[in-house]
């Protein structure tokens, strides 16, 4: 029974695929007929043949008997091959028309020679080409006649609707219905998924992660286990966003979708990307770990690994070992989700949480939330029966709920779904959920199904950018604007509506982590399985088990180099390659055999280490989508400009590529050029009339380069415009021609001038140019860099632009702005009025020649008796590098409201600023004040009672902290650094939430006895550079949660002799200036069972250093010690030999030894050493011999900072001593990765 059902489903999918193909080709044929000359009649016959077959396929859908025939299978396959051939013929014709159009354009400059040359070029000669195309079309017609005979032989021809179609009376267009429904779905998407039946699971896991694991030092792991669709990821996401998790781990959270690619380097790279917001593209594991150490050392972190399948225990152990090196605090946790019950055991999970299906009542509650708003009585009985078929699986309930909601509560349609035979499909592991297949079958058109099936090209858990997805659909010819459409739409608009339908049916889900405002999608694993299943006859993913490798595939995806090697060993025939329409090598190094796949529409070569694009790429005449992103390409061949069909060119993060091809203007079909770095372009950009996505472009002063006025010809531009080199625009007249104010589809604008350029009359030019580049009123993000004018134009000063003169020139405010950055405007003496912008969330201002931030900053005029309401939505404000700023005032009215939603305020490098006003910012949680040398008061602390992070440094005049600091009872981190006159600090006993405290003040002499009283939550304490500090208060012993204690460059005995109350301490650095106290301190360290990091500072000379290390017994008793830091002084030229006895340590740091000249070979006895770092050792010039270094078999990392002699000898241009260290896997010098 199940097998028969699967066969029937397969036949239905094949028919739908054929119907979608027919609709695509009919659209192409109609367009080419309109343009054809010489063989218009043949193309018209071909179009009518396709209409006939479309009607025949419609009848075939209704006939189960026909579907069950193997003869029909064979006929469908032959028909699809003929249809693809016909599509290729029409595409070839369209290519030739584009080529001829470009030749005619060029003829103006090279008239006679081109005309003479074309007469003797067979492919260019009109007569020969017309004959060749006519023969190909007749061949297609002949093949269709054969198909017609075969159809009659198997009983498919006696269909009334088909005969009508043949007579031209019954053209069927199914796209109208699908698009109408798409609009309805897109406008009514309900993104509020009910979280039903999981409260107990949530409570247990929160308690485990935040309480039970809080003191565990071995990086414990918890696992959520259950079958697909139960909501493991949803529960994990709920935990990830939970307020208790946020409080416990702060910002140190990382979410990674793992799937079947459990590659440790990839996982660590993704952690770097998540924590730094920069793409983690390091290939060296040690380099990645260093980046992670910078972000996570001394902090608790929460790592979620979603959808894990790895059962290799060694890989799990390797991951855990790597993460231990990061130096996170005890209480750091890993949470995994998996369908595989063996994974938690392999991962050595401490806690396994089995997730069960929902109860019948919970299932019904979830269904009601999805389908009904109010009354449910009329359909409750049938609804409950359908819900029971979902067997408590939330994904199945949600999907079937979305489907039934679209049926507008029609009992007949609900009953048809209830009685569908698809419910009888098996539901074992790796089987398709019946509810998913039902929902897919009910998608309103074959083209929708075709678009969904193509999503299988993406790997599981891959984040899919919406714009790229639509461009891929467009490249395959899936998106068509019906001839009956009355609205002015683009194919991208059709794609947007299709995305709406797929979202509403849960085939796509919006990714919660947005980058740069780009809308991104994900697919549930089971939905991805469905996409692979329904596309299995057309798409081959080389590593998917169970797929036949010898099928009649049109799309090919490689996931490893091994896949390519297997394919090449199979020696695919040319005719096989010519069937391919898609090849994807994302992340897989490839050879260039793909140039023989002549009918490709899509070629993805992302992250393949491609450095040279072969010039033979011009052979791929049908190519529409070419992605070369994340490759070390330095130049694109000119031949790429012969790909006249090309619509999308991806060049993201091609860091070495600085210039686009010179003949880019010939690619008139280009719609998207995707870049992340500025590139130069040749003149002719204005010819790209279809361009929607503009690359990051740089202007130059050459006569061959593109000019700013060309933007005025690109009316389809949308999204973001980013222009560099605006100093090359001479005046406002040139800038006006860019017509930015007339393009309302552009929502982000970045304008950049060169930095550090000569200032002659350039400032006046900047003002005129910016005046001409005013945007339209709907802009949401505006960024200016290196503007050297003395004042902004009026539109920016008032944030009001003038609309096109064609419609009256009415002024409109830039009310849609959410982000504004005005950076390095060093000559500007007045700030624009910004407070009235209602939706502004982020504001960053830097390098202004401003003396006062006054009332005009908030409102354009005095409101009289009315109160000022300014910056009502602002969440982040950065004021940076205002060298002349002395005064900052706010409106004085009692009922004034300024920045009521501000969360993050950063003020830095304003040396003349005397005070920061008390803004209306009770919501403020992060306050950073850096290098404010004249600041005398901190009035802002009087109202910032909700602060969780306060960082202050470089306050030269402040002698004390305000008493109001005691009101910041939620403060978790407090940094007080580089205070030259701060003599004392108040007690902090009211800051009971404080977890991290950092103090650096040269003048500090005393801390009150009760300074640490009540700080039981304090986990990190750093006091350094306080030379006059007399002592550390005894109340320090109350900080029993301390895990990191650094007290150095302080001339006192700082650490209490009894350390037994600090049993959680894992990281300790201290100073001492007597051997006796150091000895007693070392003996006291035995009371710290978790101590992993030890740093010692205060060695004045070699004698003291030698005496200290004369007895190594106390060191050898520190069994948990893994990292040793030695911070030295002058007059020490060598290290003691006894260091070689510390064979357990894995990391050794040698810092600030001014006279250290060489490193003894004793350190080569450190058999466990993995990382060695030298910092600020200016006299150091020699390391041990290569033979000695080779004894350090585990040494992987060598880091050198501010050691010029050492760098010169060993690293710089592969110095004379390079051969001693070339065997190491990772070498870094002055923050630059060398090897």
CA-based angle 143:146:147, to the nearest 5? 90
Comparison of pLDDT for 487 and 854, the residue scoring more: 854
Task: Burial-class residue 32 by CB neighbours within 10 Å (0-12, 13-18, 19+).
Answer: buried
CA atoms within 13 A on the CB side of 570: 14
What average pLDDT is seen over the chain? 82
pLDDT at 754: 92
For the ranges 36-45, 75-84, 87-96, 301-310, the maximum mean pLDDT occurs at 301-310
Residue 809 near residue 769 (C-beta atoms within 8 A): no
DSSP conformation class of 609: -
H or E segment at 399? helix 394-405
Same fold, 199-354 and 1091-1235: no
For residue 861, pLDDT over 90 is answered with no
The CA distances from residue 909 to 293, 879, 1000, 1054, in Å, are: 28, 9, 18, 33
CB neighbours of residue 741 within 10 Å: 22
pLDDT at 38: 57
Report how far residue 1227's alpha carbon sits from residue 804's, in angstroms, rounded to the nearest whole number.
58
For residue 383, pLDDT over 50 is answered with yes
Report how far residue 538's alpha carbon sits from residue 553's, in angstroms, rounded to the nearest whole number.
4
Q: If we measure between CA atoms, which residue out of 762, 691, 751 comes closest to residue 721?
A: 751
Report how far residue 757's alpha carbon sits from residue 402's, in angstroms, rounded to the nearest whole number.
59
Q: Which residue has the tokens 């790997």?
A: 459
DSSP conformation class of 133: H
Report how far residue 696's alpha carbon sits from residue 693's, in angstroms, rounded to the nearest whole number.
10
pLDDT at 671: 95
- When pLDDT is cut at 50, 70 and 90, the band that residue 125 belongs to is low
H or E segment at 1199? strand 1197-1201
> Which tokens hold the place of 80?
């699809």
Residue 177 near residue 445 (C-beta atoms within 8 A): yes
Residues with Cβ within 8 Å of 564's Cβ and at least 6 positions away in sequence, in order, are 542, 558, 585, 588, 590, 591
With b for 16 or more beta-carbon neighbours within 10 A and e for fewer, the 802-816 pattern comes to: ebeeeeeeeeeebeb
Report strand pairing: 602-604 vs 887-888: unpaired
For residue 282, pLDDT over 80 is answered with no
- When pLDDT is cut at 50, 70 and 90, the band that residue 913 belongs to is very high
Domain boundaries, the chain: 2-174, 182-191+359-484+502-510+529-534, 199-354, 704-828, 831-927, 1091-1235
The 10s digit of each residue's pLDDT in 22-51 is 766 666 555 555 555 556 777 777 777 777
Q: If we measure between CA atoms, which residue out of 1058, 1066, 1163, 1070 comes closest to residue 1118?
A: 1066
Comparison of pLDDT for 169 and 1191, the residue scoring more: 1191
pLDDT at 179: 40
Q: If we measure between CA atoms, which residue out of 1036, 1077, 1078 comes closest to residue 1059?
A: 1036
For residue 808, pLDDT over 90 is answered with no
pLDDT at 409: 67
The CA distances from residue 77 to 84, 158, 634, 1128, in Å, are: 11, 21, 44, 78
Query: What average pLDDT does the segment 823-827 reach?
Result: 93
Lowest mean pLDDT among 24-33, 430-439, 748-757, 795-804: 24-33
With b for 16 or more beta-carbon neighbours within 10 A and e for fewer, the 204-218 pattern comes to: ebbebbbeebeeebe
> Which tokens hold the place of 976?
């007080």
The 10s digit of each residue's pLDDT in 647-681 is 999 999 898 999 999 999 999 999 999 999 999 99
For residue 688, pLDDT over 90 is answered with yes
Comparison of pLDDT for 330 and 1053, the residue scoring more: 330
The 10s digit of each residue's pLDDT in 704-736 is 889 999 999 999 999 999 999 999 998 999 999
The CA distances from residue 1079 to 560, 969, 1045, 1091, 1129, in Å, are: 57, 40, 18, 17, 19
The packing angle between helices 466-475 and 446-454, to 10°, is 120
DSSP 569-600: HT---HHHHTT-SEEE-TTS---SGGGG-TT-
**CATH number for the domain running over 199-354:** 3.40.50.300
Comparison of pLDDT for 72 and 912, the residue scoring more: 912
Report how far residue 699's alpha carbon sits from residue 693's, in angstroms, rounded to the nearest whole number.
17
For residue 468, pLDDT over 80 is answered with yes
The 10s digit of each residue's pLDDT in 1221-1234 is 888 888 888 877 77
The 10s digit of each residue's pLDDT in 1113-1130 is 778 888 888 899 998 777
Tell me the CA end-to-end span of the chain in Å, nearest whole number: 61
pLDDT at 781: 95
pLDDT at 239: 93
Percent of the chain with pLDDT over 90: 33
Comparison of pLDDT for 192 and 54, the residue scoring more: 54
Superfamily of segment(s) 1091-1235: Ribonuclease Inhibitor (3.80.10.10)
């Amino acid at each position: 029974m199940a097998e028969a059902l699967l066969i029937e489903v397969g036949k239905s999918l094949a028919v739908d695929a054929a119907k979608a193909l027919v609709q695509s080709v009919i659209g192409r044929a109609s367009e080419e007929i309109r343009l054809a000359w010489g063989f218009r009649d043949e193309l018209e016959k071909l179009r009518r043949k396709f209409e006939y077959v479309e009607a025949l396929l419609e009848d075939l859908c209704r006939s189960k008997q026909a579907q069950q025939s193997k003869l029909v299978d064979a006929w469908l396959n032959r028909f699809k091959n003929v249809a693809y051939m016909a599509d290729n013929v029409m595409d070839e014709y369209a290519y030739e028309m584009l080529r001829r159009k470009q030749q005619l354009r060029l003829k103006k400059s090279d008239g006679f020679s081109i005309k003479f040359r074309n007469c003797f070029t067979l492919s260019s000669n009109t007569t020969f080409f017309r004959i060749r195309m006519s023969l190909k079309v007749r061949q297609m017609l002949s093949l269709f006649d054969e198909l017609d005979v075969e159809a009659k032989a198997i009983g498919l021809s006696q269909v009334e609707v088909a005969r009508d179609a043949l007579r031209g009376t019954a053209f069927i267009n199914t796209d109208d219905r699908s698009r109408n429904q798409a609009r309805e779905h897109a406008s009514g998407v309900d993104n509020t998924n009910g979280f039903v039946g999981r409260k107990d699971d949530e409570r247990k896991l929160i308690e485990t992660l935040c309480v039970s694991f809080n003191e565990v030092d071995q990086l414990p792991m918890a696992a959520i286990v259950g079958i697909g669709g139960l909501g493991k990821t949803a529960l994990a996401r709920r935990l990830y966003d939970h307020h208790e998790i946020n409080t416990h781990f702060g910002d140190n959270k990382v979410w990674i979708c793992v799937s079947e690619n459990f590659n440790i380097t990839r996982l660590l790279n993704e952690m770097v990307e998540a924590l730094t917001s920069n793409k983690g593209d390091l290939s060296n594991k040690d380099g990645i770990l260093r980046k992670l150490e910078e972000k996570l050392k001394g902090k608790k972190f929460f790592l979620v690994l979603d959808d894990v399948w790895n059962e290799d225990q060694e890989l799990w152990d390797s991951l855990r070992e790597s993460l231990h090196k990061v130096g996170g605090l005890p209480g750091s946790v890993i949470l995994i989700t998996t369908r595989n019950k063996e994974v938690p055991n392999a991962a050595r999970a401490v806690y396994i949480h089995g997730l069960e299906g929902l109860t019948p009542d919970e299932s019904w509650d979830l269904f009601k939330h999805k389908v009904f708003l109010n009354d449910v009585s009329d359909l409750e009985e049938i609804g409950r029966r359908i819900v029971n078929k979902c067997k408590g699986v939330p994904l199945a309930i949600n999907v079937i709920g979305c489907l039934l909601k679209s049926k507008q509560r029609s009992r007949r349609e609900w009953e048809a779904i209830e009685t569908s035979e698809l419910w009888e499909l098996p539901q074992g592991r790796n089987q398709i959920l019946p509810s998913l297949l039902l929902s897919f079958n009910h998608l309103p058109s074959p083209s929708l199904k075709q678009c969904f099936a193509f999503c299988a090209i993406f790997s599981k858990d891959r984040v899919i950018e919406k714009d790229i997805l639509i461009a891929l659909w467009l490249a395959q010819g899936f998106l068509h604007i019906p001839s009956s459409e009355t609205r002015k739409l683009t194919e991208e608009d059709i794609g947007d509506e299709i995305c709406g339908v797929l979202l509403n049916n849960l085939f796509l889900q919006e990714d919660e982590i947005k980058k740069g405002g780009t809308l991104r999608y994900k697919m549930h694993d089971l939905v991805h399985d469905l996409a692979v299943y329904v596309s299995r006859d057309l798409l081959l993913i080389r590593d998917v088990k169970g797929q036949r490798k010898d099928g009649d595939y049109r799309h090919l995806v490689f996931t490893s180099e091994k896949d390519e090697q297997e394919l090449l060993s199979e020696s695919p025939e040319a005719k096989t390659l010519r069937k391919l329409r898609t090849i994807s090598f994302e992340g897989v190094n490839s050879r260039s055999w793909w140039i023989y796949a002549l009918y490709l529409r899509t070629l993805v070569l992302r992250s393949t280490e491609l450095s040279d694009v072969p010039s033979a790429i011009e052979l791929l005449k049908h190519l529409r989508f070419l992605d070369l992103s994340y490759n070390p390409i330095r130049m694109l061949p000119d031949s790429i400009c012969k790909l006249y069909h090309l619509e999308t060119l991806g060049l993201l993060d091609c860091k070495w590529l600085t210039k686009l091809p010179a003949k880019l203007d010939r690619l008139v079909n280009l719609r998207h050029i995707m870049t992340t770095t500025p590139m130069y372009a040749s003149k002719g950009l204005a010819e790209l009339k279809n361009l929607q996505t503009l690359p990051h472009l740089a202007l130059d002063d050459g006569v061959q380069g593109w000019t700013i006025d060309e933007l005025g010809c690109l009316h389809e531009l949308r999204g973001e415009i980013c222009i560099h080199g605006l100093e090359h625009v001479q005046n406002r007249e040139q800038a006006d021609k860019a017509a930015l104010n007339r393009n309302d589809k552009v929502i982000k604008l970045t304008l950049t001038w060169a930095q550090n350029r000569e200032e002659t009359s350039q400032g006046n030019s900047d003002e005129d140019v910016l005046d001409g580049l005013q945007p339209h009123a709907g802009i949401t993000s505006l960024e200016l860099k290196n503007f050297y004018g003395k004042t902004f134009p009026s539109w920016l000063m008032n944030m009001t632009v003038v609309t096109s003169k064609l419609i009256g020139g009415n002024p409109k405010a830039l009310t849609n702005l959410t982000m504004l950055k005005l950076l390095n405007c060093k000559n500007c003496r007045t700030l624009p009025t910004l407070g009235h912008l209602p939706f502004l969330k982020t504001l960053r201002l830097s390098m202004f020649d401003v003396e006062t931030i006054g009332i005009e900053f908030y409102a354009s005029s005095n409101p009289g008796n009315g109160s000022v309401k300014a910056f009502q939505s602002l969440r982040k404000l950065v004021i940076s590098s205002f060298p002349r700023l002395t005064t900052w005032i706010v409106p004085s009215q009692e009922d004034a409201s300024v920045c009521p939603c501000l969360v993050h305020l950063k003020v830095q490098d304003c040396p003349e600023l005397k005070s920061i006003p008390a803004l209306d910012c009770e919501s403020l949680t992060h306050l950073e004040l850096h290098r404010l040398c004249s600041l005398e008061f901190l009035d802002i602390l009087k109202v910032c009672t909700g602060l969780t992070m306060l960082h202050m440094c470089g306050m030269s005049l402040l002698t004390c902290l305000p008493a109001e600091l005691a009101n910041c009872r939620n403060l978790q981190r407090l940094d007080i650094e580089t205070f030259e006159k701060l003599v004392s600090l108040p007690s902090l006993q009211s800051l009971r939430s404080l977890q991290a405290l950092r103090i650096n003040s040269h003048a500090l002499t005393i801390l009150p006895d009760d300074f640490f009283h009540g700080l039981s939550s304090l986990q990190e304490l750093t006091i350094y550079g306080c030379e006059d500090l007399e002592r550390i208060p005894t109340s320090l012993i109350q900080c029993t949660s301390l895990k990191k204690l650094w007290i150095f460059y302080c001339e006192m005995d700082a650490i209490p002799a009894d350390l037994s109350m600090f049993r959680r301490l894992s990281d300790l650095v201290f100073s001492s200036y007597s051997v006796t106290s150091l000895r007693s301190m070392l003996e006291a360290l035995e009371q710290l069972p978790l101590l992993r990091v030890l740093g010692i500072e205060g060695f004045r000379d070699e004698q003291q250093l030698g005496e200290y290390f004369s007895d190594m017994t106390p060191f050898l008793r520190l069994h948990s010690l893994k990292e040793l830091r030695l911070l030295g002084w002058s007059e020490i030229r060598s290290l003691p030999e006894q260091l070689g006895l510390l064979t357990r340590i894995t990391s050794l740091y040698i810092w600030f030894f001014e006279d250290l000249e060489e490193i003894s070979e004793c350190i080569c006895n450190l058999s466990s050493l993995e990382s060695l770092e030298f910092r600020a050792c200016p006299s150091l010039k020699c390391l041990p011999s290569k033979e000695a270094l080779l004894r350090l078999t585990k040494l992987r990392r060598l880091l050198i900072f501010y050691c010029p002699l050492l760098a010169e000898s060993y690293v710089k241009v592969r110095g004379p001593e390079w051969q001693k260290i070339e065997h190491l896997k990772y070498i870094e010098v002055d923050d630059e990765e060398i090897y």
